[in-house]
Structure 1
Amino acid sequence: MPLFKRNPFGHYLFIKKFIIRLFGVVSHGRYRKFNNLNIEGSEILRNLPDKNVLFISNHQTYFADVAAMFHVFNASLSGREDSIKNIGYIWNPKLNVYFVAAGETMKAGLLPKIFAYAGSVSIDRTWRSAGKNVNRQVKNSDISNIGKAIKDGWVITFPQGTTTPFKPIRRGTAHIIKTFKPVVVPIVIDGFRRSFDKKGLSIKRKNVLQSMVIKEPLEIDYDNEEIAEIVTKIEYAIEQHPSFLKVLSPKEAEEYLKEEEELNKQRTFW
């Protein structure tokens, strides 16, 4: 690899590699020592193409979810079977991995800016800004940048656009899927909300069983399926369809959602 080679966003790959190595080493114990990350489906990752892949996932923290995926992706591509044991895999990471994130989150402080260099595709949220609800048009440049990332490699997105569970899927994700026709791979995570603070930087509780399940790619008729149909597929695939609340009693479901809302109000947005 040429020393000063850049990715489509102008980022030097040798700097990105250094950042991924550094934070990979720093964060590894959060999923192996303080808590235990249980992985399913790593063999699916090894069968994916090198580019034009979109990962869709539920969301529980700002940064810990993505960091765990970077670990799992690289460990799996290095031959690990549902494990991130032995961190040697981080020495030669996959560099065309990106994640979609709110621009205001990635610009608020030095640490997020460093994280952004590791692969953020920053967008302006159309429904929320500076902690307030807004209603604004999607920027064409945001769509273009997501498409650019998909064409170059693997992209992680959280289609609910929030860490609050069972919130509606943003239709923009379905539009992205119909427009760029990527391989769509669902991921379901759990345990991150219990083990980390909302930002995903501080360990809130130890010895929590975290889980990450990588599912088979979705079957999508890009040309003929309606946006609403794709949205419903996403809801079921990442286990955020309202029907999943039925595993709890009505009272349990109400208390669970109320607790999550209260926690979100108490935690300061980055």
Structure 2
Amino acid sequence: MGLFKTNPFGHILFVKKWLIRILGLLTHRRFRGFNELQIEGSEVIKNLPDTNVLFISNHQTYFADVIAMFHVFNAGLSGRLDSIKNVGYLWNPKLNIYYVAAKETMKSGLLPKIFAYTGSISIERTWRSKGQDVNRQVKMSDISAIKKALDDGWVITFPQGTTTPFKPIRKGTAHIIKTYKPIVVPIVIDGFRRSFDKKGLRVKKKNIYQSMEIKEPLKIDYENESIAEIVEKIEYAIEQHPSFLKVIPEDELQEKERLNRELRDW
């Protein structure tokens, strides 16, 4: 790699590599130390092409969700399946991983600005701004940026556009899927909301059961499925369809508490 080689967004890859290494080292104990992230399905990562892959996930914190995925993706690519033990996988990280984030969030302080350099596709939300509901048109430059990132590598997006659970899926994600035809990989995370603050920068509680499930790519008929059908498919895939709003069975609650006790004794 040339010292000043850049990606399509003008980021110097040498700088990006070192930022990922440093931020990875600083955050590793949040997922393997203070808490123990349980991973399932990371073998899916190894079988994906290098470009045009879209990860869709539910959203629980501003930053911790993406940081955990950077750990899991790079560990999986280095052969550590369902494990982030031994942080050596960060030495040669995948540099063409991007994530969609709200522009105002990524400009909210020095740390977010630094984190943005690791792969943020910063977009203007059409429905929310500075804590207020808004209604504005999608900027075509934002759509073009996502297309550019898919052409170069992998993109992580949170199609609800909020950390509040069971909010509707934004149709923009379905339009991107139908238009650019990426491989769509669903991810379901849990425990991040309980273990971190809303921004995902501060550890709020230790020994919480955290989980990340990487599912097989969705089967999508890009030509014939409607936007509404793709939206519903996303809702089910990331377990945010209204049908998942149910009382958690007592045995499931007991199992989660048992896992939390095991972690406290770990």
Report TM bin, short chain: over 0.9
| Cross-structure match for 1:139 | 139
Residue 109 of structure 1 and its aligned partner are, at CA, apart by 1.1
TM-score (norm 2): 0.93
| Cross-structure match for 2:65 | 65
Q: What SS class does the counterpart of residue 28 from structure 1 fall into? A: helix
Q: Which amino acid aligns with 2:189?
A: I
Unaligned runs of 5+ in 1: 250-270
| Cross-structure match for 1:199 | 199
**What whole-Å deviation, never above 9, does each CA across 1:199-226 have from its counterpart, x for those lacking one?**
0000000001100000000000111110
Aligned-partner Cα distance in 1 for 2:12–2:173: 28
Q: Which amino acid aligns with 1:10?
A: G
Q: What SS class does the counterpart of residue 187 from structure 1 fall into? A: strand
List 4+ stretches of structure 1 deviating above 2 A.
Answer: 246-249
Q: How does 1:1-270 map to 2 (within 5 A)?
A: 1-248=1-248
Aligned-partner Cα distance in 2 for 1:231–1:90: 34
Aligned-partner Cα distance in 1 for 2:246–2:59: 20
Aligned-partner Cα distance in 1 for 2:164–2:96: 28
Aligned-partner Cα distance in 2 for 1:202–1:4: 33
TM-score (norm 1): 0.91
Give aligned-pair identity as a percent.
78
Aligned-partner Cα distance in 2 for 1:134–1:80: 44
Residue 246 of structure 1 and its aligned partner are, at CA, apart by 2.5
Aligned-partner Cα distance in 2 for 1:81–1:53: 19
The number of equivalent residue pairs is 249
Aligned-partner Cα distance in 2 for 1:242–1:161: 17
Aligned-partner Cα distance in 2 for 1:244–1:97: 30
Q: What SS class does the counterpart of residue 246 from structure 2 fall into? A: helix
Residue 2 of structure 1 and its aligned partner are, at CA, apart by 1.1
Residue 110 of structure 1 and its aligned partner are, at CA, apart by 0.9
Aligned-partner Cα distance in 1 for 2:169–2:47: 27
Q: Which amino acid aligns with 1:31?
A: F
**What whole-Å deviation, never above 9, does each CA across 1:88-134 have from its counterpart, x for those lacking one?**
00010000000000000001111111000000000000000011000
Residue 144 of structure 1 and its aligned partner are, at CA, apart by 0.3
Q: What SS class does the counterpart of residue 72 from structure 2 fall into? A: helix
Residue 247 of structure 1 and its aligned partner are, at CA, apart by 4.1
Aligned-partner Cα distance in 1 for 2:68–2:240: 20
Unaligned runs of 5+ in 2: 250-266
Q: What SS class does the counterpart of residue 115 from structure 1 fall into? A: helix
Aligned-partner Cα distance in 2 for 1:179–1:81: 32
**What whole-Å deviation, never above 9, does each CA across 1:25-59 have from its counterpart, x for those lacking one?**
00000000000100000100000001100000000
Aligned-partner Cα distance in 1 for 2:88–2:40: 20
Q: What SS class does the counterpart of residue 246 from structure 1 fall into? A: coil
**What whole-Å deviation, never above 9, does each CA across 1:7-28 have from its counterpart, x for those lacking one?**
0000000010011000000000
**What whole-Å deviation, never above 9, does each CA across 1:36-86 have from its counterpart, x for those lacking one?**
100000100000001100000000000000000000000000000200000
Aligned-partner Cα distance in 2 for 1:81–1:155: 21
Q: Which amino acid aligns with 1:206?
A: K
Aligned-partner Cα distance in 1 for 2:223–2:76: 32
Q: What SS class does the counterpart of residue 126 from structure 1 fall into? A: coil
Aligned-pair Cα RMSD in Å: 0.8
Aligned-partner Cα distance in 1 for 2:180–2:152: 12
**What whole-Å deviation, never above 9, does each CA across 1:241-261 have from its counterpart, x for those lacking one?**
000012449xxxxxxxxxxxx
Aligned-partner Cα distance in 2 for 1:247–1:222: 35
